[in-house]
Structure 1
Amino acid sequence: MGSLPSPPRHLPVLAALALALTACGNGDAASTVSAAELVHVHGLAENPDADGIYVATHTGLFQVQGDDITRVTEGYHDLMGFTVVGPGDYLASGHPDLRVDELQAPGKPPLLGLVASDDGAEWEPLSLLGETDFHTLEAKHERVYGYDATNGRFLISEDRTDWETMSEVALIDFSVSPDDPELIVGSGQGGIARSEDAGTTWTPLDAPAAVFLDWSADGLFGVTADGRVAVSTDAGDTWAQLGTVEGQPEAILATPDRLLVAVADRGILESTDGGETFDVLIATDG
Protein backbone atom coordinates (compact mmCIF):
# COMPACT_ATOMS: atom_id res chain seq x y z
CA MET A 1 0.00 0.00 0.00
CA GLY A 2 1.20 3.51 -0.76
CA SER A 3 2.05 6.30 1.63
CA LEU A 4 -1.31 8.10 1.57
CA PRO A 5 -2.26 9.04 5.16
CA SER A 6 -4.82 7.30 7.31
CA PRO A 7 -8.36 8.66 6.83
CA PRO A 8 -10.28 10.63 9.45
CA ARG A 9 -12.93 8.47 11.13
CA HIS A 10 -15.84 10.76 11.83
CA LEU A 11 -19.27 11.51 10.45
CA PRO A 12 -20.24 14.98 9.17
CA VAL A 13 -22.51 17.06 11.31
CA LEU A 14 -26.10 16.62 10.11
CA ALA A 15 -28.06 18.61 12.66
CA ALA A 16 -27.99 21.88 10.73
CA LEU A 17 -29.06 20.13 7.55
CA ALA A 18 -31.92 18.38 9.32
CA LEU A 19 -33.16 21.72 10.68
CA ALA A 20 -32.98 23.30 7.25
CA LEU A 21 -34.85 20.44 5.66
CA THR A 22 -37.65 20.67 8.19
CA ALA A 23 -38.10 24.29 7.23
CA CYS A 24 -38.11 23.40 3.52
CA GLY A 25 -41.06 21.04 3.72
CA ASN A 26 -41.32 18.05 1.41
CA GLY A 27 -39.05 17.90 -1.65
CA ASP A 28 -40.79 18.60 -4.93
CA ALA A 29 -39.31 16.24 -7.53
CA ALA A 30 -38.93 17.44 -11.14
CA SER A 31 -39.58 21.07 -10.14
CA THR A 32 -37.75 23.88 -11.92
CA VAL A 33 -35.28 25.67 -9.65
CA SER A 34 -32.71 28.42 -9.82
CA ALA A 35 -29.01 27.74 -10.33
CA ALA A 36 -28.39 28.96 -6.79
CA GLU A 37 -29.68 25.59 -5.52
CA LEU A 38 -26.67 23.78 -6.99
CA VAL A 39 -24.82 24.10 -3.70
CA HIS A 40 -21.86 21.97 -2.65
CA VAL A 41 -21.61 19.78 -5.75
CA HIS A 42 -20.33 16.25 -5.14
CA GLY A 43 -20.61 14.76 -8.60
CA LEU A 44 -21.38 15.30 -12.27
CA ALA A 45 -22.63 12.75 -14.81
CA GLU A 46 -24.07 12.69 -18.30
CA ASN A 47 -27.75 11.92 -18.68
CA PRO A 48 -27.94 8.80 -20.88
CA ASP A 49 -31.70 9.19 -21.38
CA ALA A 50 -31.61 12.76 -22.76
CA ASP A 51 -29.36 15.71 -23.45
CA GLY A 52 -27.88 17.38 -20.39
CA ILE A 53 -26.13 16.43 -17.19
CA TYR A 54 -26.93 15.33 -13.66
CA VAL A 55 -25.55 17.31 -10.74
CA ALA A 56 -25.34 15.50 -7.38
CA THR A 57 -25.29 17.93 -4.47
CA HIS A 58 -25.54 18.33 -0.71
CA THR A 59 -29.34 18.57 -1.02
CA GLY A 60 -30.16 16.09 -3.76
CA LEU A 61 -29.93 15.37 -7.48
CA PHE A 62 -30.58 17.96 -10.18
CA GLN A 63 -30.78 17.81 -13.96
CA VAL A 64 -29.41 20.53 -16.21
CA GLN A 65 -30.72 20.76 -19.79
CA GLY A 66 -29.71 23.96 -21.51
CA ASP A 67 -30.85 26.81 -19.28
CA ASP A 68 -33.38 24.63 -17.44
CA ILE A 69 -32.50 23.20 -14.02
CA THR A 70 -34.86 20.75 -12.35
CA ARG A 71 -34.81 18.98 -9.01
CA VAL A 72 -34.91 15.22 -9.61
CA THR A 73 -34.82 13.69 -6.14
CA GLU A 74 -37.96 13.71 -4.03
CA GLY A 75 -35.88 13.73 -0.84
CA TYR A 76 -33.12 16.17 0.07
CA HIS A 77 -30.45 13.48 0.24
CA ASP A 78 -26.80 14.47 0.58
CA LEU A 79 -25.46 12.51 -2.40
CA MET A 80 -21.75 12.22 -1.69
CA GLY A 81 -21.16 9.51 -4.29
CA PHE A 82 -23.12 9.30 -7.55
CA THR A 83 -22.66 7.41 -10.81
CA VAL A 84 -24.76 6.58 -13.84
CA VAL A 85 -24.42 2.97 -14.98
CA GLY A 86 -26.70 3.41 -17.98
CA PRO A 87 -30.23 4.44 -18.96
CA GLY A 88 -32.54 4.03 -15.97
CA ASP A 89 -29.72 2.74 -13.77
CA TYR A 90 -28.32 5.17 -11.18
CA LEU A 91 -26.27 4.45 -8.06
CA ALA A 92 -25.54 6.76 -5.15
CA SER A 93 -24.35 7.03 -1.56
CA GLY A 94 -24.05 9.65 1.16
CA HIS A 95 -26.61 10.64 3.78
CA PRO A 96 -30.41 10.36 3.57
CA ASP A 97 -33.03 13.02 4.04
CA LEU A 98 -33.84 12.30 7.69
CA ARG A 99 -37.56 12.27 6.90
CA VAL A 100 -37.19 9.20 4.65
CA ASP A 101 -37.37 6.22 7.00
CA GLU A 102 -36.80 3.52 4.37
CA LEU A 103 -33.32 4.88 3.68
CA GLN A 104 -32.26 4.61 7.32
CA ALA A 105 -31.28 1.52 9.29
CA PRO A 106 -32.72 1.48 12.83
CA GLY A 107 -30.05 2.04 15.46
CA LYS A 108 -27.38 2.89 12.88
CA PRO A 109 -25.91 6.18 11.60
CA PRO A 110 -27.65 7.92 8.68
CA LEU A 111 -25.47 6.45 5.93
CA LEU A 112 -26.93 5.42 2.60
CA GLY A 113 -24.46 2.65 1.80
CA LEU A 114 -25.30 1.84 -1.82
CA VAL A 115 -28.72 2.91 -3.09
CA ALA A 116 -30.21 2.56 -6.57
CA SER A 117 -32.82 4.33 -8.68
CA ASP A 118 -34.31 3.94 -12.13
CA ASP A 119 -35.29 7.59 -12.42
CA GLY A 120 -33.17 9.52 -9.89
CA ALA A 121 -36.27 10.56 -7.94
CA GLU A 122 -36.88 7.63 -5.60
CA TRP A 123 -34.10 5.44 -4.20
CA GLU A 124 -33.96 1.97 -2.69
CA PRO A 125 -31.20 0.50 -0.51
CA LEU A 126 -29.07 -2.28 -1.99
CA SER A 127 -26.30 -2.85 0.55
CA LEU A 128 -24.34 -1.43 3.51
CA LEU A 129 -27.23 0.76 4.69
CA GLY A 130 -26.20 2.50 7.92
CA GLU A 131 -22.63 1.26 7.55
CA THR A 132 -20.94 3.09 4.69
CA ASP A 133 -20.73 6.50 3.08
CA PHE A 134 -19.14 6.15 -0.35
CA HIS A 135 -17.64 9.51 -1.22
CA THR A 136 -16.78 8.28 -4.71
CA LEU A 137 -18.49 5.64 -6.85
CA GLU A 138 -17.67 4.41 -10.35
CA ALA A 139 -19.46 1.73 -12.35
CA LYS A 140 -17.20 0.25 -15.01
CA HIS A 141 -16.26 -3.18 -16.35
CA GLU A 142 -19.41 -4.74 -14.81
CA ARG A 143 -18.17 -3.75 -11.35
CA VAL A 144 -18.94 -1.03 -8.85
CA TYR A 145 -15.86 0.61 -7.33
CA GLY A 146 -16.30 2.68 -4.18
CA TYR A 147 -14.33 4.61 -1.61
CA ASP A 148 -15.84 4.07 1.84
CA ALA A 149 -14.98 7.34 3.59
CA THR A 150 -16.54 6.16 6.86
CA ASN A 151 -14.04 3.37 7.34
CA GLY A 152 -11.23 4.37 4.97
CA ARG A 153 -11.58 1.39 2.61
CA PHE A 154 -11.46 0.88 -1.13
CA LEU A 155 -14.17 -1.62 -2.07
CA ILE A 156 -15.36 -3.47 -5.18
CA SER A 157 -18.64 -5.26 -5.82
CA GLU A 158 -19.68 -7.35 -8.80
CA ASP A 159 -23.32 -7.74 -7.73
CA ARG A 160 -23.96 -4.50 -5.75
CA THR A 161 -24.63 -6.57 -2.65
CA ASP A 162 -21.42 -8.27 -1.60
CA TRP A 163 -18.29 -6.15 -1.33
CA GLU A 164 -14.60 -7.03 -1.24
CA THR A 165 -12.25 -4.79 0.70
CA MET A 166 -9.25 -4.24 -1.54
CA SER A 167 -7.25 -1.96 0.78
CA GLU A 168 -7.37 0.55 3.60
CA VAL A 169 -6.34 3.87 2.14
CA ALA A 170 -7.21 7.57 2.41
CA LEU A 171 -8.64 8.93 -0.83
CA ILE A 172 -10.34 12.12 -1.91
CA ASP A 173 -11.27 10.88 -5.37
CA PHE A 174 -10.37 8.13 -7.83
CA SER A 175 -10.99 7.11 -11.42
CA VAL A 176 -10.84 3.74 -13.13
CA SER A 177 -9.25 3.25 -16.54
CA PRO A 178 -11.87 2.78 -19.28
CA ASP A 179 -9.67 0.04 -20.78
CA ASP A 180 -8.27 -1.87 -17.79
CA PRO A 181 -10.45 -2.86 -14.79
CA GLU A 182 -7.36 -3.26 -12.61
CA LEU A 183 -5.89 0.18 -13.30
CA ILE A 184 -7.00 2.97 -10.94
CA VAL A 185 -5.57 6.39 -10.10
CA GLY A 186 -6.55 8.05 -6.82
CA SER A 187 -6.00 11.39 -5.12
CA GLY A 188 -5.37 11.98 -1.43
CA GLN A 189 -3.84 14.47 0.98
CA GLY A 190 -0.46 12.96 0.15
CA GLY A 191 -0.84 13.41 -3.61
CA ILE A 192 -1.63 11.10 -6.51
CA ALA A 193 -1.24 7.31 -6.35
CA ARG A 194 -1.84 4.50 -8.82
CA SER A 195 -3.02 0.95 -8.38
CA GLU A 196 -2.49 -1.74 -11.00
CA ASP A 197 -4.18 -4.50 -9.01
CA ALA A 198 -7.73 -3.17 -8.57
CA GLY A 199 -6.91 -1.08 -5.51
CA THR A 200 -5.02 -3.70 -3.50
CA THR A 201 -1.77 -1.72 -3.48
CA TRP A 202 -1.07 1.91 -4.31
CA THR A 203 2.11 3.53 -5.63
CA PRO A 204 2.62 7.30 -5.19
CA LEU A 205 3.24 9.22 -8.42
CA ASP A 206 5.24 12.34 -9.17
CA ALA A 207 2.25 14.26 -10.45
CA PRO A 208 0.30 17.51 -10.02
CA ALA A 209 -1.61 17.54 -6.73
CA ALA A 210 -4.98 16.97 -8.36
CA VAL A 211 -7.92 16.58 -5.99
CA PHE A 212 -10.55 15.48 -8.51
CA LEU A 213 -10.00 13.02 -11.36
CA ASP A 214 -11.93 11.62 -14.30
CA TRP A 215 -10.80 9.24 -17.02
CA SER A 216 -12.15 9.36 -20.57
CA ALA A 217 -10.98 7.97 -23.89
CA ASP A 218 -8.91 11.15 -24.30
CA GLY A 219 -6.95 10.62 -21.10
CA LEU A 220 -7.00 11.04 -17.34
CA PHE A 221 -8.01 14.58 -16.41
CA GLY A 222 -7.28 16.17 -13.04
CA VAL A 223 -7.89 19.50 -11.37
CA THR A 224 -5.90 20.83 -8.42
CA ALA A 225 -7.28 22.62 -5.39
CA ASP A 226 -6.33 25.97 -6.92
CA GLY A 227 -8.02 25.20 -10.24
CA ARG A 228 -5.16 24.07 -12.48
CA VAL A 229 -6.28 21.46 -15.01
CA ALA A 230 -3.98 18.79 -16.46
CA VAL A 231 -4.25 15.60 -18.50
CA SER A 232 -2.26 12.37 -18.58
CA THR A 233 -2.32 9.87 -21.43
CA ASP A 234 -0.05 7.33 -19.71
CA ALA A 235 -2.00 6.54 -16.53
CA GLY A 236 -0.45 9.31 -14.49
CA ASP A 237 3.26 8.97 -15.34
CA THR A 238 3.41 12.32 -17.15
CA TRP A 239 1.00 15.24 -17.26
CA ALA A 240 0.34 18.09 -19.68
CA GLN A 241 -0.83 21.34 -18.16
CA LEU A 242 -4.02 22.75 -19.66
CA GLY A 243 -6.13 25.71 -18.59
CA THR A 244 -7.36 26.91 -15.20
CA VAL A 245 -10.68 27.45 -13.49
CA GLU A 246 -10.81 30.28 -11.00
CA GLY A 247 -12.05 29.14 -7.61
CA GLN A 248 -12.25 25.94 -5.60
CA PRO A 249 -13.17 22.90 -7.69
CA GLU A 250 -15.77 20.46 -6.36
CA ALA A 251 -16.13 17.85 -9.12
CA ILE A 252 -14.93 17.04 -12.65
CA LEU A 253 -16.50 15.21 -15.59
CA ALA A 254 -14.60 14.25 -18.76
CA THR A 255 -16.65 13.20 -21.82
CA PRO A 256 -15.64 12.70 -25.45
CA ASP A 257 -17.06 16.14 -26.30
CA ARG A 258 -16.29 18.35 -23.34
CA LEU A 259 -14.76 18.77 -19.91
CA LEU A 260 -16.89 20.06 -17.04
CA VAL A 261 -15.69 21.36 -13.67
CA ALA A 262 -17.98 22.38 -10.81
CA VAL A 263 -16.49 25.35 -8.94
CA ALA A 264 -17.69 26.52 -5.52
CA ASP A 265 -19.58 29.83 -5.58
CA ARG A 266 -19.19 30.09 -9.37
CA GLY A 267 -21.10 27.27 -10.98
CA ILE A 268 -20.33 24.68 -13.64
CA LEU A 269 -17.62 25.53 -16.15
CA GLU A 270 -17.31 23.92 -19.58
CA SER A 271 -14.39 23.38 -21.95
CA THR A 272 -14.88 22.21 -25.51
CA ASP A 273 -11.20 22.41 -26.48
CA GLY A 274 -9.81 19.68 -24.27
CA GLY A 275 -9.42 21.78 -21.14
CA GLU A 276 -7.43 24.68 -22.59
CA THR A 277 -10.15 27.28 -21.98
CA PHE A 278 -13.35 27.31 -19.92
CA ASP A 279 -16.64 29.17 -20.14
CA VAL A 280 -19.39 29.33 -17.53
CA LEU A 281 -22.13 26.85 -18.42
CA ILE A 282 -24.27 27.43 -15.32
CA ALA A 283 -23.57 30.38 -13.02
CA THR A 284 -24.49 30.00 -9.36
CA ASP A 285 -22.98 33.23 -8.07
CA GLY A 286 -25.89 35.38 -9.16
Structure 2
Amino acid sequence: MMSSPGPKKVVQLPESPSLGGLYANALKATALGAIGLSKRARTFPDTEYRVSGLIPDPAKLEGFNRLLHGAGRDSVPAGFVHIMSFPIALGLMGAEDFPVPLMGLVHLTNSIDQFRQINPAEPLDFRVRVQNPDTHRAGTQFEIEAEVRAAGTKELLWQGLSTYLARGVKLGFPEVADERDSFEAPEPNAIWPLGADIGRRYGAVSGDVNPIHTSSIGAKALGMKSSIAHGMYLASRALTSALPAGVDAFRWEAAFATPTFIPGTVAVSIQDIGEPWQRTKYVGWNSRNGKKHFSGSVSPL
Protein backbone atom coordinates (compact mmCIF):
# COMPACT_ATOMS: atom_id res chain seq x y z
CA MET A 1 0.00 0.00 0.00
CA MET A 2 1.57 3.29 -1.15
CA SER A 3 1.16 6.66 0.56
CA SER A 4 -0.37 9.46 -1.51
CA PRO A 5 1.41 12.80 -2.13
CA GLY A 6 1.34 15.45 0.57
CA PRO A 7 -1.87 17.48 1.01
CA LYS A 8 -2.34 21.17 0.26
CA LYS A 9 -3.86 21.77 3.69
CA VAL A 10 -3.21 20.21 7.10
CA VAL A 11 -5.70 20.43 9.98
CA GLN A 12 -4.05 19.62 13.32
CA LEU A 13 -6.77 18.66 15.79
CA PRO A 14 -6.07 18.94 19.54
CA GLU A 15 -7.91 15.67 20.21
CA SER A 16 -9.97 13.03 18.49
CA PRO A 17 -13.46 14.33 17.58
CA SER A 18 -16.58 13.11 19.39
CA LEU A 19 -18.46 10.60 17.26
CA GLY A 20 -21.71 11.42 19.02
CA GLY A 21 -21.37 15.09 18.13
CA LEU A 22 -20.41 14.31 14.54
CA TYR A 23 -23.44 12.06 14.07
CA ALA A 24 -25.74 14.65 15.67
CA ASN A 25 -24.51 17.29 13.23
CA ALA A 26 -24.85 14.86 10.33
CA LEU A 27 -28.44 14.05 11.29
CA LYS A 28 -29.25 17.77 11.36
CA ALA A 29 -27.74 18.14 7.89
CA THR A 30 -29.78 15.17 6.69
CA ALA A 31 -32.95 16.80 8.02
CA LEU A 32 -32.21 19.86 5.88
CA GLY A 33 -32.34 17.61 2.81
CA ALA A 34 -31.88 19.27 -0.55
CA ILE A 35 -31.14 22.64 1.05
CA GLY A 36 -27.96 21.25 2.60
CA LEU A 37 -26.97 19.38 -0.56
CA SER A 38 -27.25 22.48 -2.74
CA LYS A 39 -24.63 24.26 -0.63
CA ARG A 40 -22.07 21.44 -0.76
CA ALA A 41 -18.77 21.62 -2.60
CA ARG A 42 -18.47 19.69 -5.86
CA THR A 43 -14.88 18.51 -5.36
CA PHE A 44 -13.17 16.55 -2.59
CA PRO A 45 -10.85 18.57 -0.32
CA ASP A 46 -7.07 18.11 -0.52
CA THR A 47 -6.88 18.21 3.27
CA GLU A 48 -5.18 16.00 5.84
CA TYR A 49 -6.53 15.76 9.39
CA ARG A 50 -4.00 14.95 12.10
CA VAL A 51 -4.19 14.02 15.76
CA SER A 52 -0.97 13.43 17.70
CA GLY A 53 -0.14 11.35 20.76
CA LEU A 54 -3.32 9.27 21.03
CA ILE A 55 -3.16 6.33 23.44
CA PRO A 56 -5.71 3.48 23.27
CA ASP A 57 -8.46 3.81 25.88
CA PRO A 58 -7.80 0.86 28.24
CA ALA A 59 -11.47 0.24 29.10
CA LYS A 60 -12.63 0.33 25.48
CA LEU A 61 -9.70 -1.84 24.39
CA GLU A 62 -10.57 -4.42 27.04
CA GLY A 63 -14.23 -4.31 25.99
CA PHE A 64 -13.28 -4.71 22.33
CA ASN A 65 -11.16 -7.75 23.13
CA ARG A 66 -13.94 -9.34 25.20
CA LEU A 67 -16.49 -8.73 22.45
CA LEU A 68 -14.23 -10.11 19.72
CA HIS A 69 -13.19 -13.17 21.78
CA GLY A 70 -9.60 -11.99 22.11
CA ALA A 71 -9.39 -11.32 25.84
CA GLY A 72 -5.90 -11.36 27.33
CA ARG A 73 -4.11 -9.83 24.34
CA ASP A 74 -0.91 -7.89 25.08
CA SER A 75 -1.09 -5.78 21.90
CA VAL A 76 -3.62 -3.53 20.14
CA PRO A 77 -5.68 -5.39 17.50
CA ALA A 78 -5.68 -3.95 13.98
CA GLY A 79 -9.44 -3.48 14.19
CA PHE A 80 -9.10 -1.33 17.29
CA VAL A 81 -6.58 0.92 15.54
CA HIS A 82 -9.24 1.40 12.86
CA ILE A 83 -11.66 2.39 15.62
CA MET A 84 -9.15 5.01 16.82
CA SER A 85 -8.80 6.44 13.31
CA PHE A 86 -12.54 6.45 12.60
CA PRO A 87 -13.54 9.65 14.47
CA ILE A 88 -10.80 11.56 12.66
CA ALA A 89 -12.07 10.22 9.34
CA LEU A 90 -15.62 11.24 10.24
CA GLY A 91 -14.38 14.70 11.17
CA LEU A 92 -12.99 15.00 7.65
CA MET A 93 -16.11 13.53 6.01
CA GLY A 94 -18.44 15.66 8.12
CA ALA A 95 -16.72 18.97 7.33
CA GLU A 96 -18.55 21.68 5.36
CA ASP A 97 -16.16 21.37 2.40
CA PHE A 98 -16.84 17.64 1.94
CA PRO A 99 -19.00 17.16 -1.17
CA VAL A 100 -21.17 14.21 -0.04
CA PRO A 101 -23.37 13.86 3.07
CA LEU A 102 -22.02 11.80 5.96
CA MET A 103 -25.25 10.00 6.82
CA GLY A 104 -26.09 7.19 4.44
CA LEU A 105 -22.51 6.47 3.35
CA VAL A 106 -21.96 2.78 2.56
CA HIS A 107 -18.71 1.10 3.61
CA LEU A 108 -17.61 -0.98 0.60
CA THR A 109 -14.10 -2.26 1.34
CA ASN A 110 -11.24 -2.06 3.80
CA SER A 111 -7.54 -2.85 3.37
CA ILE A 112 -5.20 -2.62 6.35
CA ASP A 113 -1.45 -3.18 6.59
CA GLN A 114 -0.08 -3.63 10.10
CA PHE A 115 3.72 -3.59 10.22
CA ARG A 116 4.37 -4.63 13.81
CA GLN A 117 2.66 -5.14 17.16
CA ILE A 118 1.37 -1.96 18.81
CA ASN A 119 1.76 -1.66 22.57
CA PRO A 120 -1.43 -0.68 24.46
CA ALA A 121 0.46 2.12 26.24
CA GLU A 122 2.15 3.41 23.07
CA PRO A 123 1.26 6.98 21.95
CA LEU A 124 0.31 7.17 18.28
CA ASP A 125 0.15 9.89 15.62
CA PHE A 126 -2.75 9.71 13.15
CA ARG A 127 -3.06 11.22 9.66
CA VAL A 128 -6.27 10.92 7.62
CA ARG A 129 -7.11 12.13 4.11
CA VAL A 130 -9.47 11.45 1.19
CA GLN A 131 -8.26 10.23 -2.20
CA ASN A 132 -9.26 8.61 -5.51
CA PRO A 133 -12.88 9.79 -5.89
CA ASP A 134 -14.60 7.97 -8.74
CA THR A 135 -17.96 7.02 -10.15
CA HIS A 136 -19.87 3.94 -8.98
CA ARG A 137 -22.91 2.32 -10.55
CA ALA A 138 -24.92 3.56 -7.54
CA GLY A 139 -23.34 7.00 -7.03
CA THR A 140 -19.85 8.24 -6.11
CA GLN A 141 -17.13 6.33 -4.28
CA PHE A 142 -13.97 7.55 -2.57
CA GLU A 143 -11.17 6.27 -0.35
CA ILE A 144 -10.19 7.38 3.14
CA GLU A 145 -6.52 6.72 3.85
CA ALA A 146 -5.33 6.58 7.46
CA GLU A 147 -1.71 6.34 8.56
CA VAL A 148 -0.55 5.63 12.10
CA ARG A 149 3.01 6.26 13.26
CA ALA A 150 4.84 5.88 16.53
CA ALA A 151 4.37 9.29 18.15
CA GLY A 152 6.99 11.84 17.16
CA THR A 153 8.66 9.53 14.63
CA LYS A 154 8.35 8.54 10.97
CA GLU A 155 7.90 4.85 11.82
CA LEU A 156 4.76 3.67 10.03
CA LEU A 157 2.96 1.11 12.19
CA TRP A 158 -0.43 0.79 10.52
CA GLN A 159 -2.00 1.96 7.28
CA GLY A 160 -5.65 1.64 6.32
CA LEU A 161 -7.65 2.32 3.18
CA SER A 162 -11.45 2.41 3.44
CA THR A 163 -13.70 2.77 0.37
CA TYR A 164 -17.08 4.43 0.83
CA LEU A 165 -20.08 4.94 -1.45
CA ALA A 166 -22.36 7.97 -1.48
CA ARG A 167 -25.55 6.57 -3.01
CA GLY A 168 -27.27 8.69 -5.62
CA VAL A 169 -24.59 11.40 -5.62
CA LYS A 170 -23.15 12.18 -9.06
CA LEU A 171 -20.16 14.54 -9.25
CA GLY A 172 -19.36 14.31 -12.95
CA PHE A 173 -17.02 11.31 -13.02
CA PRO A 174 -17.23 9.01 -16.09
CA GLU A 175 -19.81 6.23 -15.89
CA VAL A 176 -18.63 2.66 -15.30
CA ALA A 177 -20.03 -0.72 -16.27
CA ASP A 178 -22.23 -2.51 -13.75
CA GLU A 179 -20.12 -5.47 -12.60
CA ARG A 180 -21.30 -7.75 -9.82
CA ASP A 181 -19.67 -10.91 -8.54
CA SER A 182 -21.71 -14.10 -8.41
CA PHE A 183 -21.54 -16.02 -5.13
CA GLU A 184 -22.09 -19.66 -4.31
CA ALA A 185 -21.93 -20.37 -0.59
CA PRO A 186 -19.26 -22.90 0.45
CA GLU A 187 -19.63 -25.35 3.30
CA PRO A 188 -19.59 -23.31 6.54
CA ASN A 189 -17.21 -24.13 9.38
CA ALA A 190 -18.72 -21.63 11.83
CA ILE A 191 -22.16 -20.21 12.63
CA TRP A 192 -22.46 -16.79 14.26
CA PRO A 193 -25.77 -16.00 16.01
CA LEU A 194 -26.04 -12.20 16.23
CA GLY A 195 -28.33 -10.73 18.86
CA ALA A 196 -30.37 -7.56 18.40
CA ASP A 197 -27.98 -5.78 20.78
CA ILE A 198 -24.72 -6.46 18.90
CA GLY A 199 -24.81 -3.03 17.24
CA ARG A 200 -25.14 -1.32 20.62
CA ARG A 201 -22.44 -3.52 22.16
CA TYR A 202 -19.94 -2.82 19.37
CA GLY A 203 -20.98 0.85 19.43
CA ALA A 204 -20.14 1.00 23.15
CA VAL A 205 -16.53 -0.09 22.60
CA SER A 206 -15.99 1.59 19.22
CA GLY A 207 -17.86 4.84 19.77
CA ASP A 208 -19.65 4.28 16.44
CA VAL A 209 -23.20 5.06 17.53
CA ASN A 210 -24.63 5.51 14.05
CA PRO A 211 -28.37 4.84 14.58
CA ILE A 212 -28.42 2.52 11.57
CA HIS A 213 -26.51 0.07 13.81
CA THR A 214 -27.87 0.84 17.27
CA SER A 215 -31.60 1.41 16.79
CA SER A 216 -34.27 -0.31 14.73
CA ILE A 217 -36.24 2.94 14.61
CA GLY A 218 -33.15 4.89 13.58
CA ALA A 219 -32.30 2.32 10.91
CA LYS A 220 -35.81 2.54 9.44
CA ALA A 221 -35.53 6.33 9.35
CA LEU A 222 -32.37 5.85 7.26
CA GLY A 223 -34.06 3.48 4.82
CA MET A 224 -33.28 0.06 6.32
CA LYS A 225 -35.90 -2.50 7.34
CA SER A 226 -34.11 -2.97 10.69
CA SER A 227 -30.76 -2.24 12.30
CA ILE A 228 -27.63 -3.79 10.77
CA ALA A 229 -24.38 -5.08 12.24
CA HIS A 230 -21.25 -2.94 11.87
CA GLY A 231 -19.18 -4.17 8.96
CA MET A 232 -15.97 -3.73 10.95
CA TYR A 233 -17.37 -5.81 13.80
CA LEU A 234 -17.90 -8.68 11.36
CA ALA A 235 -14.49 -8.20 9.72
CA SER A 236 -12.72 -7.92 13.09
CA ARG A 237 -14.42 -11.06 14.34
CA ALA A 238 -13.27 -12.87 11.20
CA LEU A 239 -9.72 -11.59 11.71
CA THR A 240 -9.71 -12.92 15.27
CA SER A 241 -10.35 -16.41 13.86
CA ALA A 242 -8.24 -16.12 10.70
CA LEU A 243 -4.95 -14.61 11.93
CA PRO A 244 -2.45 -17.25 13.08
CA ALA A 245 -0.83 -16.78 16.49
CA GLY A 246 2.51 -15.00 16.44
CA VAL A 247 1.95 -13.11 13.16
CA ASP A 248 2.66 -9.43 13.85
CA ALA A 249 2.95 -7.99 10.31
CA PHE A 250 0.08 -8.71 7.94
CA ARG A 251 -2.36 -7.41 5.35
CA TRP A 252 -6.04 -7.66 6.24
CA GLU A 253 -8.64 -7.11 3.55
CA ALA A 254 -12.43 -7.00 3.78
CA ALA A 255 -15.25 -6.34 1.33
CA PHE A 256 -18.85 -5.77 2.33
CA ALA A 257 -21.80 -6.94 0.22
CA THR A 258 -25.38 -7.15 1.54
CA PRO A 259 -26.26 -5.69 4.97
CA THR A 260 -26.31 -8.05 7.95
CA PHE A 261 -29.66 -7.41 9.63
CA ILE A 262 -29.87 -8.05 13.36
CA PRO A 263 -30.96 -10.18 15.03
CA GLY A 264 -29.83 -12.83 12.60
CA THR A 265 -27.45 -15.70 11.90
CA VAL A 266 -24.33 -15.59 9.75
CA ALA A 267 -22.73 -18.69 8.24
CA VAL A 268 -18.95 -18.37 7.95
CA SER A 269 -16.19 -20.19 6.08
CA ILE A 270 -12.54 -19.62 7.06
CA GLN A 271 -9.92 -21.40 4.97
CA ASP A 272 -6.13 -21.45 5.34
CA ILE A 273 -4.11 -21.57 2.12
CA GLY A 274 -0.55 -22.86 1.79
CA GLU A 275 1.86 -24.84 3.95
CA PRO A 276 3.66 -23.00 5.43
CA TRP A 277 0.90 -20.42 5.79
CA GLN A 278 0.46 -18.06 2.85
CA ARG A 279 -3.02 -16.65 3.30
CA THR A 280 -6.36 -17.19 5.02
CA LYS A 281 -9.56 -16.27 3.24
CA TYR A 282 -12.96 -15.85 4.87
CA VAL A 283 -16.54 -15.24 3.80
CA GLY A 284 -19.82 -14.77 5.68
CA TRP A 285 -23.34 -15.10 4.31
CA ASN A 286 -26.99 -15.24 5.29
CA SER A 287 -27.61 -18.77 6.50
CA ARG A 288 -31.20 -18.75 5.17
CA ASN A 289 -31.03 -17.17 1.71
CA GLY A 290 -27.33 -17.63 0.87
CA LYS A 291 -26.64 -13.94 0.17
CA LYS A 292 -23.05 -12.88 0.86
CA HIS A 293 -22.54 -10.35 3.65
CA PHE A 294 -18.75 -9.97 3.69
CA SER A 295 -15.52 -11.57 2.51
CA GLY A 296 -11.81 -10.99 2.84
CA SER A 297 -8.38 -12.38 3.52
CA VAL A 298 -5.35 -12.15 5.79
CA SER A 299 -1.80 -12.61 4.51
CA PRO A 300 1.70 -12.04 5.93
CA LEU A 301 3.75 -8.96 4.97
Q: What range describes the TM-score normalised by the shorter chain of this pair?
A: under 0.3
TM-score normalised per structure 1: 0.25
Instruction: Report which of the two has the higher share of strand.
Output: 1
Higher relative contact order (CA 8 A, sep 6+): 2
What TM-score comes out, normalization by structure 2 length? 0.24
